[in-house]
Amino acid sequence: MNTLRIRDLTLGFKGWSGTVEVLHGISLHIGRGERVALVGESGSGKSVTARIVLGLLQSLRSTRLSGLVEFEGRDLSKLSERERHALRGTKMSMIFQDPTSSLNPVYPILTQFHEVLRRADPAINLTGARARAEKALADVSITDPSRALDSYPFQLSGGMNQRVMIAMALANDPSLLIADEPGTALDVTVQAQTLRLMREQVERHGTSVLFISHNLGVVREFADRVYVIYKGRIAEQGPTAALFEDPRHPYTRALLDAVPRITGDGIPEIEDASDAYFAPTEVHEGYGEPEGAA
Amino acid sequence: MPPVLRLLAKRLGTSLIVLIGVSLLIFAIARVIPGDPARIALGPNATAEAIAALRERLHLDDPFVLQYGYFLADLARGDLGISLYTNRPVTRDIADYLPATLELVIVSGIMMVALGLPLGVLSARYRGSWIDHVVRMVTLLGVSAPSFVWAVILMLVFAFYLPLFPIAGRISDSYTISSVTGFLLVDTLIAGDVKAFGNAAWHIVLPAFALALSGIAQAARLTRSNMVETYERPYIEMAKSYGFPEKRIAWRYAFKPSLIPSMTIIGLDFAAMLGNAFLVEAVFAWPGLSRYGVAVILRKDLNAIVGTVLIISAMFLIVNVIVDLLIAFINPRIRYSQRAS
């Protein structure tokens, strides 16, 4: 059974001047323990997809959704708001772009960790939370977990906060971790360190990951499979190595060309938009969506 | 020294400097405005000798610096001089009138926090709903009319047309309460007279509410807009994505950070009420310091003017110190920055 299966998902937001279509029928799946990247430019629909999986958009009145989102074999649209809420923070969790601003500035780390742990174990007290949090922070190579727990987010570096976020995200052993542009706000060396750490941790926990990014370098190092998304449509999908070696879709090629080289060939020129970007989805052999079992 | 104590010491130090500046300023202004205090005090039929004698006694013919020196020396002994208006020591007058004003302002301040903040939180949490619209309408009314207008309206509606509340005064004449603190709400409890306490509380509701209304509205509007902004912050999205309960998100994760800017304004509003209290005191015949202050200014009663202004400034500064401490208590960044400096 796949951890996550999305089929023909469309999303629109109803506004004053009619409905704005954001997703035009995307399909993807994440197997158990698999790391899957969703790559695209800003506004392509990556982040809203993550929020639909978390069930955060369903309660908005302006949301128009269709298609199937299945988490561990359960159709999310058939779950009540309460049941969807029960999954958040326990079975699925999320890591955000900027760790420092994602932590509440007026509470020490321990208080926030306690709140996270309480999602899975409502009876846990502060002492119990402290013990578990210290262990979780030690796992992400924080040298003095006790001191970190008593600190406020502004007293820790961005890299430390990112480690705290990773530890929090995995504290309740979720089956799906959604990482929305993790560490984009950090500088590159710290980003690399924390990504390596995240990778070690998800491998150890056997967590499936939906990795959302626009950074192709990071994706190449982190993901097993890649979906390239452009304006709410999947442009290309396949295993990471094959996709990078043999990009078939015009948009994927443009995206790869857009990365500035360290050799100094100047800032690459790419077309803003092109009809070719709307070409049908390219699927690498054997990496299409699983059929049947709807 | 713990950071909070260090902050307290620092704020008290600057407050003292401000207070000295205020005393110098008000001392000078009171002497610059036209009119001879001695002549006003003694009336139109006084002889030139009597006036000269009083001027001598008040040191009015001495150079300004010397006058200020006398004043400071007296002040150090806790003596603010004799009021020419009441012929009593200014400190006695202030001791008589200040508790009534403070009682009114404190009850108003409590109303401001206890009504304003929850209204703002409700409005922000259910923004766009009818609750939000009602709160915003009512608070707009609250901020757009001054407190004396509300005092008159509330008095007309709830004391005259619907006689639910007493029309004026601090307590019904049938009660005699011996003054211990000067706060009737406290003194009645000290006397163990629950009925008198109820009566005093019943008297204070309308004036305090009239005085608090614009503050309540201000606090609610500010809390709402701060919270709406806080709701857009990544840490709220993080709290939602982890499924923290909505109610906890509103009260802990959004409210506490939003409280920091609100507190500053509430503190300023609270201190400003000491001055605004005058019109409300006038409408409700409340025997407070603001009314006394205006009476002595009209009489050019130098000692009483300086004393009143000094006391109100001191209250203002004390409130500000308290607000600073509260903010430091809520905002760890301020608390810890004191350690670094």
Which chain A residues are Cβ-neighbours of B240 within 8 angstroms? 56, 88
Rounded Cα distance between A104 and A106, Å, is: 6
Rounded Cα distance between A189 and A126, Å, is: 34
Rounded Cα distance between A49 and B106, Å, is: 52
DSSP state of A26: E
Contacts 24+ apart (CB under 8 A), A278-283: A278/A230, A278/A231, A278/A233, A279/A235, A279/A249, A279/A250, A279/A251, A281/A233, A281/A234, A281/A235, A281/A236, A281/A237, A281/A249, A282/A235, A282/A236, A282/A237, A282/A238, A282/A248, A282/A249, A282/A252, A283/A236, A283/A237, A283/A238
ipTM for the assembly = 0.84
Quick one: pLDDT band at residue B338, thresholds 50, 70, 90?
low
pTM of the model: 0.75
Residues sharing a CB contact under 8 Å with residue A158, sequence separation 6 or more, in sequence order: A98, A99, A100, A185, A186, A187, A190
Nearest to B290 by CA among B302, B272, B269: B272
Q: What is the strand order of the sheet A74-75 is part of?
A: A18-30, A4-15, A63-71, A74-75
Distance from the first to the final alpha carbon of chain A:
12
pLDDT at A291: 62
pLDDT at B146: 82
A211 contacts A255 by C-beta, under 8 angstroms? no
Q: Mark yes or no for CB contact B241/A89 under 8 Å.
A: yes
Residues sharing a CB contact under 8 Å with residue A168, sequence separation 6 or more, in sequence order: A93, A112, A113, A116, A136, B242
Q: What is the pLDDT of chain B when averaged over all its residues?
A: 84
Quote the crossing angle between the two packed helices A188-205 and A158-171, to the nearest 10°.
Answer: 20
pLDDT at A287: 76
Rounded Cα distance between A64 and A34, Å, is: 29
pLDDT at B114: 92
pLDDT of B200-257, one tens digit each? 888 888 889 988 998 899 889 999 999 888 888 889 989 988 988 888 888 888 888 8
Rounded Cα distance between B86 and B308, Å, is: 14
Q: How far is CA A171 from the centre of its chain?
A: 17
Q: Mark yes or no for CB contact B243/A89 under 8 Å.
A: yes
Mean pLDDT score, B108-131: 89
Instruction: Write the residue in A88, A104, A106 that is nearest to B241 by C-beta.
Output: A88
Q: What is the sign, positive or negative, of the torsion defined by CA atoms of B51, B56, B57, B61?
A: positive
pLDDT of B134-143, one tens digit each? 999 989 988 8
Instruction: Write the residue in A56, A86, A103 that is nearest to B240 by C-beta.
Output: A56
Mean pLDDT score, A191-212: 89
pLDDT at B1: 64
A86 contacts A172 by C-beta, under 8 angstroms? no
Give the count of beta carbons closer than 10 Å to the beta carbon of residue B111: 19
Q: What is the pLDDT of chain A when averaged over all its residues?
A: 86
Between vectors from CA A246 to CA A245 and to CA A248, what angle results, nearest 5°?
Answer: 150
Which chain A residues are Cβ-neighbours of B332 within 8 angstroms? 105-106, 108, 152, 154
Q: Mark yes or no for CB contact B242/A119 under 8 Å.
A: yes
The torsion defined by the Cα of A134, A138, A141 and A147, in degrees rounded to 10, comes to 30
A152 contacts A183 by C-beta, under 8 angstroms? no
Rounded Cα distance between B233 and B254, Å, is: 9
Tokens representing residue A161 in the block: 């906060």
Compute the 3-state secondary structure of chain A and give helix, strand, coil in percent, each to the nearest 5. 40, 25, 35
Q: For the ranges A178-187, B95-104, B213-222, which has the lowest average pLDDT?
A: A178-187
Mean pLDDT score, A240-257: 87
Q: How far is A168 from chain B (nearest CA, A)?
A: 10
Rounded Cα distance between B284 and B39, Å, is: 32
Quick one: pLDDT band at residue A226, thresholds 50, 70, 90?
very high
Q: How far is B329 from chain A (nearest CA, A)?
A: 10
Q: Indicate whether B340 pLDDT > 50.
A: no
Instruction: Write the residue in B241, B248, B256 that is nearest to A94 by C-beta.
Output: B241
Helix (H, G, I), strand (E, B) or coil at A265: coil
What are the backbone dihedrals phi and psi of residue B60, each rounded to the nearest 5 degrees, phi first?
-70, -20
Instruction: Write the residue in A85, A101, A119 that is nearest to B234 by C-beta.
Output: A101
A183 contacts A217 by C-beta, under 8 angstroms? no
Quick one: pLDDT band at residue B339, thresholds 50, 70, 90?
low
Mutant choice from B241, B249, B252, B330 vs A, greatest count of A C-beta within 10 A: B241
Residues of chain A above pLDDT 70, percent: 96
Size of interface A-B (CB pairs under 8 A): 67
Q: Mark yes or no for CB contact A106/B257 under 8 Å.
A: yes
Rounded Cα distance between B308 and A66, Å, is: 71
Chain position carrying tokens 């077309």: A271
Quote the crossing angle between the two packed helices B64-76 and B3-32, to the nearest 10°.
Answer: 140
Q: For the ranges A39-43, A222-226, B37-41, which has the lowest average pLDDT?
A: B37-41
Question: Any bridge partners for residue A88, and if so which?
Answer: A92
pLDDT of B41-96, one tens digit each? 777 777 888 888 888 877 778 888 888 888 888 888 888 888 878 888 888 888 88
